[in-house]
Structure 1
Amino acid sequence: MPDNPTDESAPSHEGTWPEHRCIDCDLPVPYSTEPCPKCAQYVCDKHFDPTEGMCLACPKRAREQEDLKQPVTYELLARKIAESENRVRYDQMMKRRAFEERVQLQYRKELDQIRTQIADLFVNQEVTL
């Protein structure tokens, strides 16, 4: 029954029949179903891809409307590979730098210990020049 008796087009939420239908298979869609965020169409669980977060028809519609991203070219592929290699080199450089800093810190600590031991020997006059 419509909320407003004069408005016949108002949806009725009293029945068990949902107000939306799947855009692809025309099956009823429950009230709790949210529309596809990309195309704002209601689809059933069968036609919704949760990993992509959009309905399965969106990529097809994008192809139909030619809203695809730029085609994969050799230059684009080469640039992506170079970026990946640069990231790997940068990560390796940072790891190497961190390792070298740890080694230098350990070296300084051991050198300080040796100098302290030598100074103690001089103070105790066990060693003379």
Structure 2
Amino acid sequence: MKKPSHINEIGSVCRPVGELLASIGSKWVVLVLIRLSERPKRFTELKREIGTISQKVLTSVLRDLERNGIVNRTVTPSIPPRVDYQLTELGESLLEPIHALGVWAVDHEDAVAEARKRFEEQAETA
């Protein structure tokens, strides 16, 4: 498949973009990636650092990231077994666009809040 060279061409490859965004677009994925950008971490360390994520959701997020080649899971035989997670090269390459999106969100926070306010006001008068 030909790679899009411009944002206007992304529509021609919408399915894979949508599938990938469904996998990596959640707040939990972003938080896990940010934590793993520091260094490899154990499951319990990730859970403690993220705080409000449930064990079930963290397990699901990590499995999905591993399935997509973004995270490596390494099991070290011991009692109990030690399991570490770390970003792959592919995962590392995802940090730049996530950072750019975060910068955009912070830079435009006020404009988005104002747009939401206008929308709500219009909805109330309609």
**TM superposition score normalised by structure 2:** 0.27
More helix by share: 2
Which has more radius of gyration?
Answer: 1
More strand by share: 2
